[in-house]
Every structure is written in structure tokens, then in C-alpha cells.
Amino acid sequence: MPIDPPRRHLLVVEDEPAINDSVTRRLEAEGYAVTQAWDGPGAVAAAAEETPDLVVLDVMLPGYDGLEVCRRLQQHRPIPVLMLTARDDEADILAGLAVGADDYLTKPFGLRELVARVAALLRRVERATELAGRSARVLQAGTVTIDTGTRRVTVEDQQVHLTPTEFDLLACLAAAPGQVLARDRLLAEVWDWPDATGTRTVDSHIKALRAKIGADRVRTVHGVGYALEVR
């Protein structure tokens, strides 16, 4: 895959020096500027100071864990997060998605795959921002207002903070209000890496979105997909 990233700034958070260093060296070789952090508090401090474009975040960390780091980061501003989890630890994966991670990789992973995932996630966020700038518009579904220019969402005039993935999902649903969108279609439109992600990821992000905008605003059509309620 040809990757020609502009100089984006990444934050790599992992307490195991061998993994942190090899990931960092590889990402630097791909042209990224990389800051390293080694524990929970260090990650939150580095993110506040450096405002990275994306965070590669291990779950198991000293201080507080990657889930808590993710939760704290998303409180400040939406930031793309690629979570690293222990092999096959489904509980970690689902917990990570619930606190706003956009994608995950299970250990052990290949550096080539890591690079591809990072590039895909950055592309997705940048494309969304670019599209929003080009055709900024305000989508309305009942009392939910979605400004695709500023990526601001309000529910009953209260601002709601969504992660980039949650925002893209909501914007996708809101583009066809009341209409049922299949999980496969949501996967294809919102994720750049659908094969590796799977429709269960859609379910997890929908669950997180519901918790933020109100469960009854997103209707589940079992075995098919989801629809945004228009009332």
C-alpha cells in the first residue's frame, strides 16, 4: 500500500520498552513525528502538551490503564485512538471501544499491519474533516442536530461530545434519517478497514453512541442494522 503521509504527530503509549521503541522507530521511518509515553499519567500529560493527531495506546499500563487514558483524552477533544490489547481479550476490546477507541490491534501484531491501521485511521478522520469543510451542512433528526462543518452535535440544544468514529456513524445515519442502514453498509462507509473490524465493532460503537445521545434515538432492526429516529 503506498503511504505518503504528511508529517503527522503520533503519541505511542506502551510501558514495555522493546515494543514502544520498535513501534516508534517504525512509525518514524514512515515519516511520522512520534512522542513516546510509558504510563497512564504520562500519556494524558503528553497528549495535552503535544496535541497529537492520533494515539497508539496499550491497555495494560502502570499508573492507570489505557481505558482510563482513552476516557480522559476523549473528554477534552475527539482524538483518534488505536488500542493495543492482549491476545483475544474480548473484554478489553469491547471496553476499549466503549470508551472511544476507534480501532484495535491484538498482540502480537506485525509492524506492517500497525502502520496500515494508523494510516487508515488518519485517512478516515482527515477525509471526514475535508468533506465536512467542502460541504458543511447541518443535519437534523428530531432534536438531534449535527453540524458536519464544525463536527458539533447537540441533543435538545445540549452539546454532546462524540469520538470521531461515533460522529461518522451518526452523520452516516443522519444522512438517511428514519431509514434502516445495514451494519455492513455502516462498516463500509465509516471504517477504512472493514475486513479486520467486523460488524460487532459497529454494534459496540452504536452502543456508545446511544449512551451519549439517548438510547431511543437509534433504532435496532435485528439482523439488519440501525436507523436514526426522526421524531
Residues that bind Ca ion (CB under 5 A): 15, 58, 60
| Smaller CB separation from Ca ion, 14 or 166 | 14
| Smaller CB separation from Ca ion, 16 or 189 | 16
| Smallest distance, Ca ion to C-beta of residue 65, A | 9
- The whole-angstrom separation of Cα 45 and Cα 23 is 20
| Smaller CB separation from Ca ion, 15 or 89 | 15
- The whole-angstrom separation of Cα 78 and Cα 76 is 7
Measured from each CB, the residue nearest to Ca ion is 60
| Smallest distance, Ca ion to C-beta of residue 76, A | 23
| Smallest distance, Ca ion to C-beta of residue 228, A | 38
| Smallest distance, Ca ion to C-beta of residue 13, A | 9
Q: CA distances (Å), 63 to each of 43, 69, 93, 104, 173, in order?
A: 10, 10, 20, 21, 38
Classified as helix, coil or strand, 98 is helix
Q: Are 38 and 20 in contact (CB under 8 A)?
A: yes
| Smaller CB separation from Ca ion, 92 or 102 | 92
Q: CA distances (Å), 229 to each of 169, 177, 199, 205, 218, in order?
A: 14, 7, 21, 17, 6
- The whole-angstrom separation of Cα 51 and Cα 28 is 17
| Smaller CB separation from Ca ion, 58 or 166 | 58
| Smallest distance, Ca ion to C-beta of residue 176, A | 41
